[in-house]
Amino acid sequence: DGGITQSPKYLFRKEGQNVTLSCEQNLNHDAMYWYRQDPGQGLRLIYYSQIVNDFQKGDIAEGYSVSREKKESFPLTVTSAQKNPTAFYLCASSNPDIWGGWQPQHFGDGTRLSIL
Amino acid sequence: QKEVEQDPGPLSVPEGAIVSLNCTYSNSAFQYFMWYRQYSRKGPELLMYTYSSGNKEDGRFTAQVDKSSKYISLFIRDSQPSDSATYLCAREYNFNKFYFGSGTKLNVKP
């Protein structure tokens, strides 16, 4: 079955530590996204990538970093500079049409990150 | 100011009821609006999307956009306990980028 796999499901971070969240998709989608979900707030865009080896900051990129070396993979690193990292992190992908137009985003089942 | 506003609920209804879920949004030059369903500890799953204004129906679900009043609605007919989830609305604000509401939690009681 095609889909998006996020791992781990739960992750704990110590003070001053960087942690990396994995996102892999086998939908052959070009575009991938990282969102953060906090209680009482909508999903907020952290980073997105429209194509391999290219990515752009979203609305809340500070304290995060990404890479896009392969089409299937878009890992997110939560650095020690992110002072409030406790949240539910969601990865999504989509396949914009040949004119760059909209296509729906499909989501993984998320990683819950907590501070130790 | 949030770009998309939703009542957080929870909204509790008996099985078989018609459910109305609503969002308001600020100005949007873009045309796409979406509804996602999210079960606890899971990722959102796309339910419906609409382009511009008007209605779109899919089985028991109807999505409606009223651009003049900046209102997005999702109607669920013959609601089932399996519909119990959090419903997120979203509107496009740039190509392939969306503002999401914080979600309305729905509980359908058997």
Whole-number pLDDT of residue A100: 54
User: What's the helix, strand, coil split of chain B in %, to 5?
Assistant: 5, 60, 40
pLDDT at B74 over 90: yes
pLDDT tens for chain A, 116 residues long, are 679 999 999 999 888 899 999 999 999 999 999 999 998 888 999 999 999 999 999 999 999 999 999 999 999 999 999 989 999 999 999 987 655 566 788 999 999 999 88
Candidate from A8-17, A18-27, B21-30, B44-53 with smallest mean pLDDT: B21-30
CA-based nearest distance B79→chain A, Å? 24
Q: Which member of B43, B49, B101 has the closest CB to residue A110?
A: B43
d(CA B103, CA B4): 10
Q: Which member of B3, B8, B99 has the closest CB to residue A40?
A: B8
Interface test with B, best of A5, A98, A107 (most B CBs within 10 A): A107
